[in-house]
Amino acid sequence: MGEVILHGHRVSYRTAGEGRQVILLIHGITGDSRQWNQIIPQLADRYTVLAPDLLGHGQSAKPRGDYSLGAYAASVRDLLIVLGHRRASVVGHSLGGGIAMQFSYEYPVFCERLVLVDSGGLGPEVHPLLRAATLPGAELVLPLIAHPRMHVVGEAIGQALGRLGLELGHDLAEMIRGYASLSDAEARRAFLHTVRAVIDLAGQRVSATDRLYLAQMIPTLIVWGRRDPLIPIEHAAVAHRGIPGSRLEIFDDTGHFPQLEQPVQFARALIDFIESTDPAEFEFSDQDLNTLRERMLKRGRKSR
């Protein structure tokens, strides 16, 4: 564990390994860096691994401020710089997938590879529980949902459903543990700012589907749990079609958290992807820039 002060705010992170290549692991909403605990040891003998607690999450500060995808992307970029890392393969889960995509668009010179894990930002569909958090008055209900006893209840529900053979047990327990992390007012406020920045009552309102083609310049892996109850498996196909040359890995009998449910399979897929691809390089020639410009203009004409 380590922490740094970025722009006046504490950012906590986990790090391991001393490899030449850096892997940056970005968790999802209400999560923290502990969700990568089973993955980090499997990567640390080959790579340098960095897993921050995003602002508003875990042990990091929870200021009143900007919780947009762009602000998060800038924050992880600044963390890389402060820790002396020039580039990284960026792995984003759920909300972290949206942040990873934003990072790759805004700061491509820092991004060697892109890995999207049950990612947000690929369609409007999302679990009703997250949509409900955008309703007026949600701040009055959250203290009840986030009561510390819910952590124990969540684990009990997950274990009971697991014994019945219901694969949603792990997802449900993890969701309840996530809500139990909102036990103080600052964490709840940060959560509401974050969720309302990307979701409204109709579902996800921030979409990367109109810019996915930009990611074709970066080696991309898409990982999804076939039984994800939070963000549907169909969104994996959207990303795969939208990013030419991307690689798609579907984990059967797995929900929203493949890194927790299938850590060995997940780590193997990630290592194989990194070892079998060359990192993106962004030393643009005039021809490269003109090609990219033409693609953007073409997309703009189609959208009209």
Q: Given 228, 235, 240, 246, which residue is catalytic?
A: 228
- Residue 195 near residue 46, CB atoms below 8 Å: no
CA neighbours closer than 13 Å in the CB half-sphere of residue 36: 31
Nearest 10 degrees: CA dihedral of 263, 267, 273, 279?
120
Q: Given 33, 60, 75, 94, which residue is catalytic?
A: 94
Q: Is 252 designated active site?
A: no
Rounded distance, CA 110 to CA 281, Å? 9
Q: For residue 241, what are its two tokens? A: 């079609």
Q: Is 193 designated active site?
A: no
Strand partners, 23: 49, 89
User: How far, in Å, are 55, 197, 210 from residue 200 at the CA level?
Assistant: 21, 8, 19
- Residue 15 near residue 51, CB atoms below 8 Å: yes
Q: Is 9 designated active site?
A: no
H or E element in which residue 50 lies? strand 48-52
Active site residues: 94, 228, 256
